[in-house]
Amino acid sequence: MKIVKDLNEIVHNRNSAVTVGTFDGVHLGHREIIRKLNAVKESNDLRSVIVTFDPHPQIVLRNRDHDIKILSTLKEKLEIFRELNIDLVYVINFTKEFSLTPAERFYKDYLIDRIGLKDLILGYDHMFGKNREGNFKTLKELSENFDFTVDKVDEYKPGGEHISSTVIRHLLEKGDVEKASDLLGRYYSLEGKVVKGKKLGREIGFPTANIQVDDEFKLIPKTGIYATEVILGADKFYGMMNIGTNPTVTDDESIKIEVNIFDFDKDIYGEDIKVNLTDYIREEKKFKSLEELMENISGDKKKILKLKNNSKINQ
């Protein structure tokens, strides 16, 4: 897969199947669009192209105090696109200036003239350009003038259920990582670097890796204890994560993200880590003593190991 951020680096190829979107989360609805893109590519021997945006348009266009939280960083999106066998991804630097681009100009100047366009595949609710004027009526007129096909992908509703990035955000904010994973088609994950903490977990027998998440706009799920899969390089471990303030042992109210990796004792400070959140175990709470805290953490671990042994998180 080729990743391009400069339009001048793209080789024009008229035989291209193209889709356009932010694809935050690359959830099952997005994957249905990409499935259609790949089907058109295969049946017509075309190049598959995804045009996406970074940062998320709503981060740029909204007041900072009301910024949207994203489900997937650019790195995460690109990894999924690679897994889905896309040929070319063009990442547009989304700015306020770019947001004023008229839809017709965008499709002509970017897709038709520079990328090349034989088939345009878009989701049922696609709107683009200044004042969101780029609807399917606009595209039909353009397709007739410039000889390309527009495929509108119907809403994907398995079991009649609506899927959207907004719905998934709300689920994660409630701690429902299980349902969110169902709609994403994968576990929701947090990625970042392992940084030094206060080593309080080590003192009570549960050493943790403190994680500094890669992107400040990444959505952090509801505070609490989670069952996790931990990815370190090519290795996978199981563990439990605490998202919260550690109220039993500190008065610091800042949110911390810490994972206790089962059967693991290596020094991984500074290393990249990925944590898949598989199950919500319980809310974070302030205990009366360290002994009570340790007893509850031991209980959390036993519950997670039982889930693992029952194959609930061993996928």
Average pLDDT of each block of 10 consecutive residues along the chain (315 residues)? Answer: 96 97 96 97 97 94 76 97 98 94 90 96 80 74 91 90 95 97 97 82 76 94 97 95 88 89 91 97 90 90 89 52
Q: Is residue 166 part of a domain?
A: no
Residue whose C-alpha is closest to residue 108's, from 73, 134, 69: 134
Instruction: Tell whether 8 and 156 lie within a shared domain.
Output: yes
Instruction: Tell whether 149 and 287 lie within a shared domain.
Output: no
Instruction: Tell whether 114 and 209 lie within a shared domain.
Output: no
Q: 19: domain range?
A: 2-160
Instruction: Tell whether 32 and 153 lie within a shared domain.
Output: yes
Q: Is residue 171 part of a domain?
A: no
Return the percent helix, strand and coil in the chain, to nearest 5.
Answer: 35, 25, 40
Bridge partners of residue 256, in order along the sequence: 244
Instruction: Tell whether 69 and 213 lie within a shared domain.
Output: no
Q: Is residue 15 part of a domain?
A: yes
Instruction: Tell whether 124 and 196 lie within a shared domain.
Output: no
Q: Is residue 173 part of a domain?
A: no
| Contact residues for 40 (Cβ-Cβ < 8 A; gap 6+) | 17, 46, 119, 121, 151
Q: Is residue 315 part of a domain?
A: no
Instruction: Tell whether 45 and 124 lie within a shared domain.
Output: yes
Q: Is residue 175 part of a domain?
A: no
- Extract the tokens encoding 223: 């505070």
CATH value at residue 67: 3.40.50.620
What are residue 265's phi and psi, to 5 degrees?
-140, 25
